[in-house]
Structure 1
Amino acid sequence: MSALKKAAKSSLPVKKPAKAAKPSTKAVVLKSRVSYKGKVFSVTTDTVTEPGGVTSTRDVIRHNGSVIILAVDTSKNPADPTILIERQYRHAAGQFLLELPAGRIEPGEAPLAAAKRELIEETGFRARRWSKLVRYFASPGFLSETMQVFLAEDIRAGVAQPEEDEKIDLLHIPLSELIGMIESGKVLDGKTILSVMLYAANRKK
């Protein structure tokens, strides 16, 4: 091969192998209608093509999200702080439950502002220190609600301002006792179990 032909061959662009297309992480909503609209949540019936190519119809409860407040009092016993717990009747569960204070985030409301508001409304307590503990989906199979857990520390008492339909008994339970109640099945509320056990695990680190 002549030097001229060699030079011409070496100057040709080299084709790179085509990159494999990345699998889609987004769903395509083909059709959506509101099946129910209430004060706290709505339900949409969606025809959707999900990542992977499966097209199906999904009923989804649409919720603006909630905040949970793990209010801790270390003033009497820092080694075994008390946790602010509410006892109230839950019609869906058909029984009284022990729960952390919690509530819905209003449209346009910041999660931390919602947490401070809910703590005051339900318990009267305020906290000088706030931090995020964890955020998770409550039940992603059919519910869009996310739950943001806030740790509230250096708390001080005040006057509660519960809503008309809220009948709440307020309890101060030591962390060690509360863990025992969770392990023995006396606490059945999922957000409370998750938040308390995560807090307890973080304290051991």
Structure 2
Amino acid sequence: MKPLPTVHGQEDLDFGGRFKVERLDLEFSNGARRIYERMKPRGRGAVIVVPMRDADTVLLVREYACGVHRYELGLVKGRIDPGETPEQAADRELKEEAGYGARKLEVVRAMTLAPTYMSHQTHLVLASDLYPEKLEGDEPEPLDVVPWRLDALDELMLREDVSEGRSLAALFIARELLWKRSKA
């Protein structure tokens, strides 16, 4: 494995507070030097939750997605607030968005969106042993909760209203993990 590039300098760039960008002066093992810029996360990252209603059924939510100006079907997700663990954030978001809590929460792995220029990480959390509990969230309207069978992910991945890569990746990772566990 190659050694990591040497950092000769770093500088925070100010874009009016909306985005945090860091400029890095890097030298690679072959002597090449480059300037890279990366977006730095605000806060402690995010969670994406795979809430299992039962062994075969995940709960999805339908919410307005401003970036594409339509309603999207996907997984519960949100920021990790200061002082929260990924498990606590996942349970809170699940209660706010889907109206369920989880007695069992497992962080499966961290995922990145665009690791070549963003350091933001989203923690995939598997939630099971659900029970009804609703918390007030920041959504402007109640979200639709849609049960979906894991054995029908091939149908879900081709729907026009399911386009978020994190949700798709998390669903396939969770399905494979649960399938392997059921065979053990």
What TM-score results when the alignment is normalised by the length of structure 2?
A: 0.82
Quote the RMSD (CA, aligned, Å).
2.4
Residue by residue, what CA displacement relative to the aligned partner does 1:66-89 show, whole Å, maximum 9, x if unpaired? 101100011xxx4xx221101111
2:21 is paired with a residue whose SS is strand
Q: 1:129 — aligned with what?
A: 104
Contact 1:179 1:196 in 2 (8 A): no
Work out whether 1:146 is the aligned partner of 2:121: yes
Query: Relative to structure 1, is the Cα distance of residues 141 and 189 closer, same or farther in structure 2, using a 3 angstrom cutoff?
Result: same
Aligned length: 176
Distance 1:99 1:140 in 2: 22
Distance 1:149 1:132 in 2: 6
Query: Relative to structure 1, is the Cα distance of residues 189 and 37 closer, same or farther in structure 2, using a 3 angstrom cutoff?
Result: same
Contact 2:7 2:27 in 1 (8 A): yes
Contact 2:38 2:119 in 1 (8 A): no
- Higher CA-based Rg: 1
1:93 is paired with a residue whose SS is coil
Give the stretch that moved more between structures: 187-196 or 103-112. 103-112
Q: 1:19 — aligned with what?
A: none
The structural deviation recorded for 1:56 is 1.1
Residue by residue, what CA displacement relative to the aligned partner does 1:101-124 show, whole Å, maximum 9, x if unpaired? 000112343211111111111122
Distance 1:25 1:47 in 2: 10
Structure 1 runs (4+) greater than 6 angstroms displaced: none
More strand by share: 2
Contact 2:107 2:125 in 1 (8 A): yes
1:148 is paired with a residue whose SS is strand
1:27 is paired with a residue whose SS is strand
Distance 1:32 1:127 in 2: 39
Identical residues among aligned pairs (%): 24
- Listed as ranges, the gaps of 5+ residues in structure 1 are 1-21
1:191 is paired with a residue whose SS is helix
- Listed as ranges, the gaps of 5+ residues in structure 2 are none
1:54 aligns with one of 33, 44, 60: 33
1:111 aligns with one of 86, 91, 97: 86
1:96 aligns with one of 64, 71, 81: 71
The structural deviation recorded for 1:128 is 1.0
Q: 2:132 — aligned with what?
A: 157
The structural deviation recorded for 1:185 is 5.5
Matches within 5 A, 1:33-44: 33-38=13-18, 42-44=19-21
Q: 1:199 — aligned with what?
A: 174
